[in-house]
Amino acid sequence: MRQTRFALLTGMLLYATAQAATTIDLTAEASRPAANDMVRATVFAEASGGNPAELARHVNQDIAEGLKIIRAKPGVSVKSGRQSTFPVYGQNQKIESWRLHSELILESRETAAVSELLGQLQQMRLAIGSVSQLPSPETRKKVEDEATRDAIAAFRQRAAVVAEVLGKPYKIRHLSIQQSGQMPPMPIMRASRAMAAEAAPPVPLEAGESLVTATVSGQVEVAD
């Protein structure tokens, strides 16, 4: 009986202690610039006509020729992108023709090499879909870590200010960390086959920076 009363009393004391603490939600963030040391570009081949098999032959040939040029350029990786075949409808919702589209995605840390390569690919009847410059995974991780340290320090400083104003000690109960920030793709006008057949100069690219932001949200407990 005494053990039961002691357990009940202990539980009441723990409950009273928990009720005596006040929790406060806080958020802090920090940002760091990250060098855009990687280029990602999309090039595509496209054809329209009434014979899907013939269109596929032309598109595949253009893509194959583009792959030869890209693979010959050191420091540039390539992979297949979106590929689609869809009908073009005319009056009465009847199929009048077909359109085929096939993409290649290039990535490299050599901006000059990609710039020259894009000029060469346009001469081969490939058009540029988009170009984006962004931090490489290694650079992004390094800057994210730095921004996270700054955000945590800012969170602790903010919690200390709250505790100082209230005149009471605090402890951190919960933390949640999120990172964000990316350079949006730079759109490029589609080149027609006539334009692509002409001598195309290297595509001008300016790296710049992206802002990487770390946000820390959490709860601090202040004793009453």
pLDDT, position 22:
85
pLDDT of residue 20: 58
Q: If we measure between CA atoms, which residue out of 182, 180, 173 comes closest to residue 155?
A: 173
Find tokens 């280029």 and name the residue: 39
pLDDT of res. 90 = 86
Integer Cα distance of 59 and 8 in angstroms: 79
Other CB atoms within 10 Å distance of the CB of residue 150: 17
Residue with tokens 């200390």: 160
Check if the beta carbon of residue 208 is closer than 8 Å to that of residue 182: no
Residue 180: its pLDDT value, please? 82
The C-alpha atoms of residue 123 and residue 162 are separated, in whole angstroms, by 63
Helix (H) or strand (E) holding 169: none
Burial of 136-148, coded b for 16+ CB within 10 Å and e otherwise, reads: beebbeebbeebb
Which distant-in-sequence residues (6+ apart) come within 8 Å of 206 by Cβ? 133
- The domain 38-135+184-205 is placed in CATH, from the list 2.30.30, 3.30.70, 3.30.360, 3.30.420, at 3.30.70
Cβ–Cβ under 8 Å, residues 117 and 64: no
Residue 67 has which token pair? 């792959």
Cα–Cα distance, 62 to 51 (Å, whole number): 17
| 158-183 per-residue burial string, b: 16 or more CB within 10 A, e: under 16 | bbeeebeeeeeebeeeeeeeebebeb
Q: Determine the pLDDT at residue 204.
A: 66
User: Domain ranges in the chain?
Assistant: 38-135+184-205
Global confidence as pTM: 0.70
Measured over the CA atoms of residue 32, residue 108, residue 75 and residue 189, the dihedral's sign is negative
Q: Which secondary-structure segment (H or E) carries 122? A: helix 111-123
3-state secondary structure of 100: strand
| Coil vs helix vs strand at 110 | coil
Q: How many CB atoms lie within 10 A of CB 35?
A: 16
CB 187 within 8 A of CB 132: no
Residues of the chain where predicted confidence (pLDDT) is lower than 70: 1-20, 181-206
